[in-house]
Structure 1
């Protein structure tokens, strides 16, 4: 018996279609019906065996609803970050301060003076305000901004060392290669990296010996949480001044203020690196600074100016939303009286331990109720990573350890990721851990199960 699908009009008139038209656009619903009808007709014409139920209106409407729901799921989904790591690449790095998100909405929904000078009525430069803010905050003579730190390094090498040598220690080269595609950057920049010293040690004298007429830059990579490299930088600057070679420092976690003032591990402060004589300093807008993703460059007027004016700069420029968010973030650093509260990353890092413990303790009854039998939960002392780099500094925290009679930590973690919104914790020693450091609403750590726990 040959089966034929119902007419399109019958599907539109189906009672369940009204629900689809409320949730989805009429164009999407109509096109979805046409696609399914076409698929059924093609299957029949090609002689495939098709379940007769597939031709019924109920089946077609249900099939379309499932298809539309799947396509409606956003890739960027809100999650609860209970990993304890505020700067988590997989979860979007820094949360932006309120003025930055307000600035993004304004720039996205209204015309703004992105490249327009109101005083003159003429075209302007989109990075001008950002550059002035960076110079104010760091004491540098010049500044430049591009879309990320890798681009900043690429552009710096292209503008200052194309077809010339850049000296870097073996250790720094290894560190840089862990986070950036060094070979691709070199190929695009045209610079030649010359490794200095050995894989285990390097001295200022090694750099001076390696300098030739072809040397254009000395590149340092700063990764250590404790700022114990002042003397090394000063030595390299002295050599660079003597030999006419600029020193560029790439800060993995460059900060705009001294975190040790808040009882946190010290990260390199950009202003200090400039005062020590670095000709250029590159750091990220989205890391310790707590703003949007951007590559920030500060330094001498000559070096920074060469970067800002290079032809490649236009290709690597920030879009208007990044410019808006970055300006708002940098203004907070210049004007806020309570910066540690205004920048979400700093707020979480500087949160008092007793407050974190209170958050964890308050949620225990609701968590026990939601989890059901077989689970054990407890509040314990732990340490949070400040970033997701394995070399990251750690700070004390309070966590909720979730264990089960027979389910391991990874099974429990997977289950927490299935709730809405998904709750992302971490697993250590086969224990599932919810870190309360960055959780300000305790109920965020309570899963909203959609079905029963699998055995």
Structure 2
């Protein structure tokens, strides 16, 4: 009870010089709410334990109020330094955009645009027109459209092309990906009846043909995303499924998931097929993501036969799923780089990070350590160990990319302590823990990150025994 008397009233706190300074920077309502919250916590703590007298001092309370105000006012969506080595990290926003998208975004964000206006005709236009020709040029498809993500593309395609009828899918492709996105659920939501064929590990051409009835609207092929079935397996490849579809008079739709536009077969030990290959195989409708292997903004892309794509454009769902001008601007700038694949491999960050060879990463790791050591105080130890990076984003699940990792050791801190403190720092740093060590993978660290990474590591020596 004696401690309760040390807790000041709100009116008194408002008169303190430090709080008056805060009042010049923050709205009064937020300031009052924060002061009350801080004082309420002090009362609660004082009821349950004996607190040091300095906790109730003016300087301590002003500091608590100031820190809480800063936390409340800080943007929730923050920059993160990705030291995990996962290139397309879904939890960290997936792909980094190429620099060419920056100017396009700045222009479109702060000016009016011809989003749905045909400047030549002087009349209303279509937002699809800004991307369709470029996508058709790059993929060889007859038609194309863009929605807000690949799940939306699948939902729209199924709703427009197969609602009220059946779609035939291999049991081995009935996947669930992040966020509990399940193919059977999407099919049910789109009004399509799922018809499973084959087994989990083996599906044959005859399975599709035996499933055809007058109600069959599509043969559907699904990318297996973030898992792989290995061993005694068999699947029907896209070209063979097209042949079966032609024989049965059934269109073929393929959800490619990651949507690769560059031939990476010579650069990676395991490469995915390209969208161009699926188009050349005759697949009628292909859906894929804009923000995975393509390396653009979040988007769902559809390419395929013009009559089918046009039917999707006219579907009522299209308005709910359409992309905004910023997505289209960033996607157009990214796609333009693929007109020269060599340029795309250099300028699209996702492709550049995925295809970086071990020798380049080893040199990068050693250069980073030299830069960090010049900035870090004594007491933080950095060393090297070989390891591997991952593609992430539901792409290439078996791919392991050799890399040279940087191990961080700090006296008095466990790897878990280091991880937690870096994650909660002024600029969040996310690495990984493996075999009892905290590790930084240079594959996903950008040149512009090094100074902030050094500052974050230096802060580990401040009160090092705080876990």
Q: Common fold, TM-score beyond 0.5?
A: yes
Measure the CA separation in 2 of the matches of 1:140 and 1:229: 28
Superposition deviation, residue 422 in structure 1: 2.0
C-alpha contact (below 8 Å) 1:283/1:295 kept by paired residues = yes
C-alpha contact (below 8 Å) 1:425/1:435 kept by paired residues = yes
1:76-112 CA deviation, whole Å, 9 max, x = no partner?
1211111111100111100001121221222111111
Distance change (3 Å), C-alpha of 1:266 and 1:366:
closer
SS at match of 1:259: coil
1:170-216 CA deviation, whole Å, 9 max, x = no partner?
10014669962334423320001111012221101110001111110
1:122-141 to 2 correspondences below 5 Å: 122-141=123-142
Superposition deviation, residue 36 in structure 1: 6.6
1:418-437 to 2 correspondences below 5 Å: 418-437=424-443
Superposition deviation, residue 404 in structure 1: 6.1
| Alignment match, 2:251 | 246
SS at match of 1:31: helix
C-alpha contact (below 8 Å) 1:5/1:55 kept by paired residues = no
Matched, 1:283 2:284: no
1:14-46 CA deviation, whole Å, 9 max, x = no partner?
532464256x34xx1x2235547888999xxxx
| Alignment match, 1:167 | 168
* Pairing partner for 2:458 from 440, 443, 448: 448
SS at match of 1:283: strand
Give the root-mean-square deviation of aligned CA atoms: 3.5
| Alignment match, 1:95 | 96
Moved more, 116-125 or 362-371: 362-371
| Alignment match, 2:151 | 150
Moved more, 290-299 or 407-416: 407-416
C-alpha contact (below 8 Å) 1:222/1:251 kept by paired residues = yes
TM-score, normalising length: structure 2? 0.84
C-alpha contact (below 8 Å) 1:363/1:443 kept by paired residues = no
C-alpha contact (below 8 Å) 2:345/2:351 kept by paired residues = yes
C-alpha contact (below 8 Å) 1:170/1:199 kept by paired residues = yes
SS at match of 1:93: coil
C-alpha contact (below 8 Å) 2:217/2:250 kept by paired residues = yes
Measure the CA separation in 2 of the matches of 1:84 and 1:33: 41
SS at match of 2:458: coil
**Structure 1, unaligned stretches of length 5 or more?**
43-48
C-alpha contact (below 8 Å) 2:83/2:440 kept by paired residues = yes
Superposition deviation, residue 277 in structure 1: 1.0
C-alpha contact (below 8 Å) 1:168/1:218 kept by paired residues = yes
Measure the CA separation in 2 of the matches of 1:121 and 1:198: 56
| Alignment match, 1:351 | 356
C-alpha contact (below 8 Å) 1:419/1:448 kept by paired residues = no
SS at match of 1:448: helix
SS at match of 1:437: helix
Matched, 1:401 2:407: yes
Moved more, 419-428 or 276-285: 419-428
| Alignment match, 2:304 | 299
Superposition deviation, residue 64 in structure 1: 4.2
1:260-279 to 2 correspondences below 5 Å: 260-263=265-268, 265-279=270-284
Measure the CA separation in 1 of the matches of 2:36 and 2:74: 25
SS at match of 1:103: helix
Measure the CA separation in 2 of the matches of 1:429 and 1:269: 36
C-alpha contact (below 8 Å) 1:250/1:283 kept by paired residues = yes
Measure the CA separation in 2 of the matches of 1:376 and 1:223: 41
State the number of aligned residues.
442
